[in-house]
Chains A and B, each alone.
Chain A
Amino acid sequence: MAVFDLLLCALILLVAVAAIVGKGLFRAVVFFVIYGVLLSLAWVRLDAPDVALAEVAIGAGLTGVLLLGAVGRLARSDADEPAEPIDWPVAVAASVVAALLVGAAIKITPGTGLEPEVRAVLTRTGVENPVTAILMNLRAWDTLLESMVLITAVIGLWPLAQGGDWMEPAGPAHHAQPGGVLSGFGRLLPPVALLVGVYLLWAGASQPGGAFQGGTVLAAAGVLCVMAGVVRAPGMAAPAWRLALVAGPAVFAAFGVAGLAWGGFLTFPEAWAKGAILTIEMALTLSIAVVLALLVLGPPQAGEAR
């Protein structure tokens, strides 16, 4: 397997270079997506399937779709593709940071890290998957703040809506042929995706999975439904959707405040931890799915498509 690992490392570096120096934005995005997929393979080889799932779903899949959308918009606005020479100050700064990171990585002594500490308290966290235990209990603060950052990303989209489009469905108008391949696929896949999304959420307690991975699958199913013309895209700022948007962080924060009664913000008593974490994760999955779907659909462009 050492040969495979070395090949994988070499491929990752090659693809990364191709993404940066290659000609054309579209080509760069394609290489970026391949880079994400290869990187998730590397995480699998490092025995970190949770990170691999997140990388392939969000790093490669979602970010790739967002970047492709951006490339499409740039092409429509007939802005010239930047053909600038290498920006040397940036290149030097990035190289120095990369060299420092490599130096730091080499200095890491192989060891167990925090694993013994996490294992020691795992039975009191309410879940069996150590990664979920860290994300949802031991370091719940970080996850709470992360989920709030996602909301600000959607709010950042709002100003991009043209005045008259504010109440229109999010994203461009879609024209799938009724009875065509896409509308058939859009009816066939979502039920399966729904099952997989909920399974990922449920599996997160004991295996790789969780709110982010499940939410990404649900978001993809939603976007597919909209593109296939099965459902109308929601209004970007419709009240019910705003509620779904904030449900995750709100439930999370509410449980955090309830924890004050047991000795501190975001402290879950042992007996209630599993129920609390599962409830928070369900709400988070909903919010993450809505956030990601709205980000991919983009601001309403009803006027533009006509």
Chain B
Amino acid sequence: MSVELLRQIAVYALTGAGLVFFLAGTLGVVRFPDTFSRLHALTKADNLGLGFLTLGLAVNAERWADVAKLALIWALVLLAAGTVAQLVARSALVRGER
């Protein structure tokens, strides 16, 4: 098996895994009953789905600088998603949701 083939397999497997998490997260947002469990589904999709997607893209990246940029994007989205989830959850708590 050539290195190129292995690389392509890795790209498809990783981005595929990312898409599965996004799909699961979306289903959770649509189907889960209350704000908190919906948030749980949403942040899982962001963390793991985007993580696998960026990993897959990083395998295909041509320069290390591109890998660093992808990692930065993932880290920033992670931070933003976590912060927003906390804020949404708090405002839901304040409004009396359980």
Contact = CB atoms under 8 A, between A and B. Distances in A.
Contacts of A182: 83, 86-87
B61 interface: no
A185 B83 contact: yes
Contacts, number: 17
A192 interface: yes
Of the four ranges (under 10, 10 to 19, 20 to 34, 35 or more), the interface on chain A belongs to under 10
Interface string A237-257: 000000000000000000000
Interface residues of B, number: 8
Interface in B71-90: 72, 76, 79-80, 82-83, 86-87
Interface in B28-87: 72, 76, 79-80, 82-83, 86-87
B76 A181 contact: no
Interface string A208-219: 000000000000
A11 to B, nearest CB: 14
A106 to B, nearest CB: 35
A189 B77 CA distance: 11
Contacts of A184: 83
A36 B72 CA distance: 23
Nearest to A228: B83
Contact of B86 (A181, A189, A192): A181
A188 interface: yes
Nearest to A193: B76
The listed residue with most A CB atoms (<10 A of its CB), out of B82, B83, B87, is B83
Nearest to A192: B76
Interface of B: 72, 76, 79-80, 82-83, 86-87
